[in-house]
Amino acid sequence: MSASKKIILVIGATGAQGIAVIDALLRPLTNGYPSPYTVRALTRDPQSQRAKDLASRGVEVVQVAVALQGVYGAFVNTDSFSIGEQRETFCGIRIFEIAKQLKTVRHYVWSGLDNVNKKTDYNPLYASAHYTGKARVSDWMRSQDSVVSDDNMSWSIISTAPYMDMLKTGMFGPLRVRPDGTHVFAIPLGEGHVPMIALSDLGFFVRYIFDNRDATSAQELEVASDVITWHELVATFTKVTGKKAEYLALSNEEWFALFNQEDIARPVAPDTTTSFKETFTRFWRAYHDDIITRDLAWIRRVHPGAHTVESWMRANAYTGAIGHDVLKNAQDGKGPRPNLERIAQL
């Protein structure tokens, strides 16, 4: 490992965000020179396949609290569904405190989500726990100094959006292909818009933050690649693939009926009684009602190559097939099981 390279600790390294961030940090410079960064990955299970894949690429995979020692920067993405809202709030603050106490970390980047509480004047109808926990950490960070110097720590927040890559999953992708070849996209979105981000673009923005410490110090970057309605998404799908498609704007109850009812009644995370159904009712409502928006003009200025939904579909040779889930919890079998009988009726 070159002594001149800056070590970036990635917490949540084997998740969808973490892998995209690592890809971006390790990418060589445009002039062909190697990346100025090397990566240390914190994971709960260094024997998992994703952790082994990272190790094979020269990423240092660690499991202990000393992971922050000696690093230049940290990208921190805690898993809301594995630890729950209360622990996520505590862990987000505590990891920041440890980074500050070490006095060697220079740039701390928190992976957040939109503060739906503030954006709705604290209307509980929109407060899904995986958003509010991250947003509370972001609010706390704003009370902390962000110092750009060689002997102090600055911080930045990147607030993300649903992944375009989830179009390959049953949550955003077509749940059914009818006998006549029609691909059925069915979600409770109505006429609402969804800011979506390609994971490759998410990686770009994290790399941009580390590359531009002065400009991003004490800033929250609300990022996405494109903002789209599902009518527009389905039209784009047909344009790209030539396949027939239909958008079914389901009610929340109709959408939840597509899953095993025992699964959606269970708590969505370990420290809460809030169910999967309650959490995702609030999630869909925020997008249905256009609570969460993005400044696409600013995004395109910073990242002119950011994907549109159309360019992402073309770049990924997207066919509408439901394949390998990008979300680690779903890969681990922790998501709700589909109700195949109801899906067949779409």
What are 24-43's pLDDT values in tens digits?
999 998 888 899 999 998 77
**In the chain, how many domains are there?**
2
Residues 207, 316 within the same domain: no
Residue 329 burial by Cβ neighbours in a 10 Å radius (0-12, 13-18, 19+): middle
pLDDT of residue 13: 84
CA pair distance 344, 246, nearest whole angstrom? 15
Contact 325, 331 (CB under 8 A): yes
pTM of the model: 0.90
Instruction: Count Cα atoms within 13 angstroms, Cβ side, for 57.
Output: 16
| DSSP E strands, 43-137 | 60-62, 73-76, 107-112
pLDDT of residue 1: 43
Q: What is the pLDDT along the chain (346 residues), one digit of tens a residue?
A: 455 899 999 988 888 899 999 999 999 988 888 999 999 987 767 777 877 887 788 777 765 557 888 899 999 999 998 888 999 999 999 999 999 999 999 999 999 999 999 999 999 999 998 999 999 999 999 999 999 999 999 999 999 999 999 999 988 999 999 999 999 999 999 999 999 999 999 999 999 999 999 999 999 999 999 999 999 999 999 999 999 999 999 999 999 999 999 999 999 888 788 899 999 999 999 999 999 999 999 999 999 999 999 999 999 999 999 976 665 555 555 678 889 999 999 9
Residues 210, 260 within the same domain: no
CA pair distance 308, 197, nearest whole angstrom? 9
Determine how β-strand 73-76 pairs with β-strand 60-62.
unpaired
Q: Is residue 301 part of a domain?
A: no
pLDDT of residue 48: 79
Residues 258, 320 within the same domain: yes
CA pair distance 123, 103, nearest whole angstrom? 39
Residues 23, 133 within the same domain: yes
Residues 214, 289 within the same domain: no
> How far is the CA of 274 from the CAs of 80, 85, 124, 184, in angstroms?
13, 10, 12, 30
CA pair distance 346, 182, nearest whole angstrom? 11
Q: Is residue 302 part of a domain?
A: no
Residues 172, 312 within the same domain: yes
Domain boundary among 175, 207, 222: 222
Residue 89 burial by Cβ neighbours in a 10 Å radius (0-12, 13-18, 19+): buried
Q: Is residue 281 part of a domain?
A: yes
Residues 106, 123 within the same domain: yes
pLDDT of residue 200: 96
**Spatial CB neighbours of 129, under 8 Å, sequence gap ≥ 6:** 80, 84, 85, 268, 269, 272, 274, 279
Spatial CA neighbour of 61 closest among 6, 3, 9: 9
Q: Is residue 1 part of a domain?
A: no
Q: Is residue 298 part of a domain?
A: no
256 three-state secondary structure: helix
Spatial CA neighbour of 7 closest among 27, 35, 46: 35
Range of the domain at 61: 6-162+198-222
Residues 207, 189 within the same domain: no
| DSSP class of 275 | B
Residues 181, 242 within the same domain: yes
Residues 204, 76 within the same domain: yes
**Spatial CB neighbours of 322, under 8 Å, sequence gap ≥ 6:** 168, 169, 170, 173, 174, 175
pLDDT of residue 51: 77
Domain at 153, CATH number: 3.40.50.720
Domain at 260, CATH number: 3.90.25.10
Q: Is residue 299 part of a domain?
A: no
pLDDT of residue 331: 55
Token output for 116? 């739906």
Residues 191, 208 within the same domain: no
230 three-state secondary structure: helix
pLDDT of residue 271: 78
160 three-state secondary structure: coil
Q: Is residue 49 part of a domain?
A: yes
Residues 46, 136 within the same domain: yes
